[in-house]
Amino acid sequence: MATIATPPQKRTSRLGWRATRGALLAVLSLLIAVVLFALVQPLAMLRAVIQTRLFFDGIYSRYTEIPFAGAPRVRVHYYAGGSGSPVVLVHGLGGRAEDWAGLMPQLVRDHHRVYALDLPGYGRSDWPRNADYSIAEESAAVEAFLDDRHLTHTDIGGWSMGGWIAMRVALDQPQRIRRLMVFDSAGTKFSLTWDVALFEPDTEAKLSTLDDLLMPGRAPAIPGFIERDIFRFVGKHGWVVRRNMDSMLTQKDLLDGKLGALRMPMLIVWGKQDHLIPLTAGEGIHHAVPQSELEIFDGCGHLAAGQCAGQIGPVVKGFLDEKSPIGGGEAEIARRPW
């Protein structure tokens, strides 16, 4: 019996369709996997998206090891990118390096070498159980990170608890800090008007109250699947925040009466609607440091360095690029109507 050969063009067409169908199925499978991952672990998905965006801005995820809380080596995660004069950024209580995602690319474009680390006990750094996570311990960790990266003369900035740490580092090692920046910073005495338990939210009501405290008038509605992921995370890692907070509440590391020893130029950034740490705290820091400059941003709360990064970035870049020390006093208080 004679066989009828399939024309070459038909065989090619079938092979092409099979390859296309296989590619489409692979893409569809990937999309389904991404959606499922986002639903099950939305916080991890969000961090992955931020890391990808930073990657395309030339800011890369890295790891190193430093001594911490008596341990000779603890693994620490950080982001680094850009070239030029170095800037080290320190996140706040319950935060992580990605919190600086709005500001880091601006500084890289302004010709700075930017570092943002996850403090021990946060983000992708190690979470040693033997640490008390005091300001003294975390400050020593930042100083060890500066040593590890061979940063002998650098700018440093800190947000909230990170501002407290940055000021402590500047007091401990003034010779290596060129310029100091704090954003809605803790570190001096003020009256608490909120329940410290809010920083370990385990109910919808607590989470909503915390969001309103951090983002007054701007807190978005949080979908249930994201709330559940937040509660899972707090249940697993909330003990670090608790130790941090317990140590801070002892007030043993407060900087009241010490800030006058700072001699480097200092920028103080504050959200006018900060309901967590009042503007009076920022004004107190400003008056304690004669060479400081206080910039107040209307329409921004405690998360100003993130939510208002577009407005704050030019002010930060201008401060870092100044050639001579700035003056102090009331004339240096600026209020930004954003």
| Beta-sheet pairing, 59-68 with 71-81 | antiparallel
Residue 8 included in any domain: no
- Going by C-alpha positions, the residue among 156, 160, 169 that lies closest to residue 122 is 160
Q: pLDDT for 198-246, tens place per residue? A: 888 888 898 888 888 888 877 777 888 788 888 888 888 899 999 999 9
Q: Alpha-carbon torsion 238, 241, 243, 249, what sign? A: negative
For residue 326, what pLDDT band results from cuts at 50, 70 and 90?
very low
Q: Can you give the CATH number for the domain in which 320 is found? A: 3.40.50.1820
Q: Which residues contact 162 (CB under 8 A, 6 or more apart)?
A: 89, 90, 91, 92, 95, 119, 183, 185
How many independent structural domains does the chain possess?
Answer: 1
- Going by C-alpha positions, the residue among 107, 116, 126 that lies closest to residue 60 is 116
Phi-psi region of 51 (alpha: psi -120 to 50; beta: other; left: phi over 0): alpha
In Å, what is the CA distance from 193 to each residue of 50, 130, 174, 275? Answer: 33, 31, 33, 8
89 touches 157 (CB < 8 A): yes
Mean pLDDT value across residues 177-191: 96
Mean pLDDT value across residues 241-259: 94
Distance CA 208, CA 201 (A): 9
Residue 121 included in any domain: yes
Residue 29 included in any domain: no
Residue 63 included in any domain: yes
Q: What is the pLDDT, as a whole number, of residue 218?
A: 72
Residue 214 included in any domain: no
**Higher pLDDT pick, 84 / 9:** 84
Q: What is the pLDDT, as a whole number, of residue 254?
A: 96
Q: What is the mean pLDDT of the chain?
A: 87
Distance CA 162, CA 6 (A): 71
Angle ∠(223,228,230) on CA atoms, nearest 5: 95
Residue 299 included in any domain: yes
Does position 86 have pLDDT exceeding 90, yes or no? yes
Element (H, E) at 205: helix 204-214
Q: pLDDT for 16-30, tens place per residue? A: 666 666 666 666 554
Q: What is the pLDDT, as a whole number, of residue 8?
A: 57
Residue 276 included in any domain: yes
Distance CA 217, CA 36 (A): 31
272 touches 298 (CB < 8 A): yes
- Going by C-alpha positions, the residue among 177, 174, 178 that lies closest to residue 323 is 178
290 touches 261 (CB < 8 A): no
Helix (H, G, I), strand (E, B) or coil at 171: helix
Q: Which residues contact 118 (CB under 8 A, 6 or more apart)?
A: 76, 77, 78, 91, 96, 97, 124, 125
Domain that holds residue 267: 50-194+254-336
Does position 328 have pLDDT exceeding 60, yes or no? no
Residue 305 included in any domain: yes
